[in-house]
């Protein structure tokens, strides 16, 4: 016999002796208590975690569906932009100049190789968003980098680096 079974054997014999000495009612009560403890353990370890997971699924599904709808919207927009004919570089530059002129004297464009950099100061968030939309649609420009910060008066200052693509292609 193993050392463990040698230690358990006296406890088992003591339990069997005590069990034999109990009345039928005591045995039933003890059996019911053991079943109740086992059922409680099963519920606490098996059923409750699964129940919590099932309760959180609708919220998670809603979040996933919202994100999927947003991604589909972006994919549709990208597909529409791909269907537009390419913009010749001269027309892209003119579109960029026109959009930048609407920002006022506090914004200027500079060319750095195949990239165009907008430097701006004191531009409202709405005007900046409108400018980005105009250059994206009108010039087919893609923002590569953006670094701006909100000033004390509620206007933005910073830079945006754009790529026009070769021959207007994206």
Tens of pLDDT, residue by residue over 37-76, are 999 999 898 888 888 888 999 999 999 999 999 999 999 9
Whole-angstrom distance, CA of residue 97 vs CA of residue 128? 14
Sheet containing 156-163, strands listed edge to edge, beginning at the edge strand earlier in sequence:
107-112, 115-123, 156-163, 142-150
- In the chain the first and final C-alpha atoms are separated, in Å, by 79
Q: What band does 78 get if pLDDT is binned at 50, 70 and 90?
A: confident
Tens of pLDDT, residue by residue over 137-147, are 888 888 999 99
Q: What's this model's pTM, rounded to 2 decimal places?
A: 0.53
> What pLDDT was estimated at residue 168?
40
Give which of 140, 138, 136, 137 is closest to 169, Cα–Cα. Answer: 140
> What pLDDT was estimated at residue 167?
45
């Amino acid at each position: 016999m193993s050392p463990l079974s040698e230690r358990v054997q006296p406890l088992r014999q003591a339990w069997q002796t005590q069990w034999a000495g109990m009345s039928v009612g005591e045995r039933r009560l003890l059996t019911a208590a053991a079943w109740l403890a086992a059922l409680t353990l099963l519920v606490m370890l098996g059923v409750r975690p699964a129940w919590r997971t099932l309760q959180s699924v609708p919220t998670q599904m809603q979040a996933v569906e919202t994100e999927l709808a947003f991604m589909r919207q972006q994919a549709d927009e990208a597909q529409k932009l791909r269907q537009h004919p390419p913009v010749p570089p001269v027309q892209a530059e003119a579109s960029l100049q026109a959009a930048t002129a609407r920002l006022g004297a506090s914004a200027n464009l500079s060319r750095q190789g195949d990239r165009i950099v907008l430097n701006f100061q004191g531009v409202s968030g709405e005007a900046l968003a409108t400018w980005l939309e105009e250059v994206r649609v009108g010039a087919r420009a893609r923002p590569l980098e953006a670094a701006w910060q909100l000033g004390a008066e509620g206007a933005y200052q910073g830079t945006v680096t754009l790529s026009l693509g070769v021959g207007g292609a994206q």
